[in-house]
Chain A
Amino acid sequence: MMRLPWFEYRAPETLAEAAQILAGEGANAALIAGGTDLLPNMKRRQMAPRVLVSVRQIPELRRNGSVLGAGVTLTEIVHKPALPLGLRQAAAQVATVHLRNMGTIGGNLCLDTRCNYYNQNYEWRKAIDFCLKKDGDICWVATASKRCVAMSSTDCAPALLALGARVRLVSATGEREIALEDLYNNDGIDYLRRRPDEILTELSVPSAPSNYWKLRRRGAFDFPVLGVAAALIDGSARLALGAVASRPFLVDRANDFLRGKALSDEVIEEAGRLAASRAKPMDNADLDLYWRKDVSAAFVGYALRELRGDDMRETRRRITRYQPA
């Protein structure tokens, strides 16, 4: 039996009230929306916030029009045809039906980084004297590393990065809107540039032809061990990668090369090579490390060929299994 640790529960009805609580509690408080990422972490004692601030009742987070509230569930995103296909494909491949009914887009963007040495119960982690990310001082994946290399595992972030989405962060002292790529640090511990007193309230998502390809062992449940997102922005293809670093990122070298180019077979192959050279998976997740790195060029190829209009349905069916209607 894994009980949750004790916490004080607050359920503010307005954004201002929630921001006030965070301003007072700082890092002692955690926001809870769907709870599907936070509660397992609390059960395993990776986190034990003194105060849980539920955002379920805050109307701004439930907006589901041209602006997307951070509290919209992944199921709602899958079933909203007005949203770009790349985002819907990413949301449709997160976890399982049950977890998509609970988990929110804001939660998926803020998903804790993952690692085989971290996502374990307390006794398991204690037996290896813990790790850099929580309670220990060594990284068991790269023992010489000063930096935690836990992996970004969000599916929706690469899709939204390729599309050029922006997010709004609100605190008691003000608010700011930033490009989604500026939300992330390449650090397994300090992976978000959201301050502890800020609430991610909403996203603006440009429309564009787009897609998302996810590598995982099974057709459901699994976190990505590689995510490739592509979008066609102002006539040029743009790529983002997930699950190959501690942050999801736009692949600048490949995107510079792709700018203004038609997607010929040669261009796609070179973009795949450039993108794969930026993929730096670590041996802290499922599947063979070297194969995961090698296969990234092939996945970039799938994404770009689908973006130029090739019929990729058979390949997508084989790899993706389930997809939004």
Chain B
Amino acid sequence: MTRAEISLSVNGEPVEVTFAPYKTLLELLREDLALTGTKHGCELGECGACAVLIDGEPQLSCLLLALECAGRSVETVEGMAESWQSGAGLHPLQAAFADLGAAQCGYCTPGILLTAKALLAHEPEPSRERIQEAISGNLCRCTGYQQIVEAIEEGARRMADESHR
């Protein structure tokens, strides 16, 4: 087996891709699909930078064989804006992160945005403690997390507002 071929859904689009079979989903996204929003951190499951949504749930793309993503739905940060109802601008979580200074170097931001999105899908109004637990697998070395937690709370408010409009 020199090349593997799978079909999967990436950000709502059906994709067929041929790749070296030892690749992780992280490598497939960045190297074969040119989706470099998903960040390459520790590669060992210790940082959360590579988190993506698999069938809606946050998982680590560095520890997922690309081969095992056949037929599954993958969402990366590139698909976040489109996934929101208006589709015209940023996802409310992205806008809140920008407005509240929740991204400094930005390396952890894609993983945290997606992890927060999955949390809000289950719990539209999470407590601060629930937010902290949800992102406890995402390391951020810049912000001290305060602005991140506040931006997730603000994003949740904006999502509720926009949904009721």
Say yes or no: A98-B43 contact (C-beta < 8 A), given A4-B22, A9-B67: no
A102 to B27, CA, bound (A): 18
Output the residue of A97, A101, A102 with the most chain B CB within 10 A: A97
Contact between A95 and B45, CB atoms less than 8 A apart: yes
Q: How far is the CA of A56 from the CA of B58 in the complex (A)?
A: 18
| Interface presence of A314 (CB below 8 A) | no
Q: Do A322 and B57 touch across chains, with their CB atoms under 8 A apart? A: no
Q: Which of A7, A32, A36, A321 contacts B45 (CB 8 A)?
A: A36
Within 8 A of B (CB), among A1-28: 1-9, 11
Query: Considering residues A1, A3, A8, A32, which has the most beta carbons from chain B within 10 angstroms of its beta carbon?
Result: A3
Given contact pairs A98-B51, A98-B58, A101-B59, A219 touches B136 in the complex (Cβ within 8 A) = yes
Encoded as 1 (CB less than 8 Å from any A CB) or 0, chain B from 109 to 142 comes to: 0000001000000000000000001101100000
Q: Which chain B residues lie closer than 8 Å to A221 at the CB level? A: 46, 136-137
Q: Are B64 and A3 in contact (CB under 8 A)?
A: no
A220 within 8 A of B: yes
Residue from A7, A8, A35, A43 within 8 A of B64 (CB atoms): A35
A4-B24, A8-B1 known; 11 other A-B pairs, CB under 8 Å?
A: A7-B22, A32-B65, A36-B45, A36-B63, A39-B24, A43-B43, A43-B44, A54-B65, A95-B45, A96-B48, A220-B137
Closest to A219 in B: B136
Q: Does B68 contact A (CB under 8 A)?
A: yes
Q: Which residues of B contact A (CB under 8 A)?
A: 1, 4, 21-24, 27, 40, 43-46, 48, 51, 54, 57-60, 63-65, 67-68, 115, 133-134, 136-137
A98/B65 in contact, CB under 8 A: no
Chain A: minimal CB distance from B51 (Å):
6
Q: Chain A: interface residue count, which band?
A: 20 to 34
Partner of A97, one of B44, B63, B133: B133
B30 to chain A, nearest CB (A): 11
A131 interface contact, C-beta 8 A: no
Expressed in whole angstroms, the Cα–Cα distance for A321 and B132 within the complex equals 10
Say whether A40 faces chain B, with CB atoms less than 8 Å apart.
yes
CB-based closest 5 A-B pairs: A96-B137, A220-B136, A4-B22, A40-B44, A98-B137
Interface CB pairs A-B, < 8 A, 27: A1-B40, A4-B24, A6-B22, A7-B21, A9-B21, A9-B67, A11-B67, A11-B68, A40-B44, A40-B45, A40-B63, A44-B44, A54-B68, A75-B57, A96-B137, A98-B45, A98-B59, A98-B60, A99-B137, A101-B54, A101-B57, A102-B59, A102-B64, A220-B133, A220-B136, A220-B137, A321-B133
Q: Indicate if the CB atoms of B137 and A35 lie closer than 8 Å.
A: no
Residue of A with least CB distance to B137: A96
Q: How far is the CA of A1 from the CA of B24 in the complex (A)?
A: 12
**Please, which residue of chain B has its CB at the minimum distance from the CB of A222?**
B46
Nearest CB in chain B to that of A9: its residue: B67
Query: In the assembled complex, how far is the CB of residue A157 from the closest CB belonging to chain B, in whole angstroms?
Result: 20
Whole-angstrom distance between the Cβ of A155 and the nearest chain B Cβ:
15
Q: Residues of A with Cβ closer than 8 Å to B?
A: 1-9, 11, 32, 35-36, 39-40, 43-44, 52, 54, 56, 75, 95-99, 101-102, 219-221, 321-322
Complex partner residue of B60 from A5, A43, A52, A102, CB under 8 angstroms: A102
Question: A97, B134: Cβ atoms under 8 Å?
Answer: yes
Q: Are A97 and B115 also in contact (CB < 8 A) when A102-B60, A219-B136 are?
A: yes
Whole-angstrom CA separation of A96 from B65 in the bound complex: 19
Q: Is the CB of B136 within 8 A of A322?
A: yes
Q: Which residues of A contact B63 (CB under 8 A)?
A: 35-36, 39-40, 99, 102
* A11 neighbours in B (Cβ, 8 Å): 67-68
Bound: A1/B27 CA distance, A: 10
B43, B67, B137: the one contacting A1 at CB < 8 Å is B43
Question: Which residues of chain A come closer than 8 Å to B21, judged between CB atoms?
Answer: 6-7, 9
Question: In the complex, A75→B1 CA distance in Å?
Answer: 34
Q: Please name all residues of chain B whose beta carbon is closer than 8 Å to the beta carbon of A36 when the two chains form the complex.
A: 45, 60, 63
- Chain B positions within 8 Å of A101 at CB level: 54, 57-59
Complex Cα gap A56–B134 (Å) = 25
User: Across the interface, which residues of B come within 8 angstroms of A35, CB to CB?
Assistant: 63-65, 68
The CB with the most chain A CB atoms within 10 A, among B63, B68, B133, is that of B63
A8 to B44, CA, bound (A): 21
Chain A residues within an 8 Å CB radius of B46: 221
A75 to B40, CA, bound (A): 24
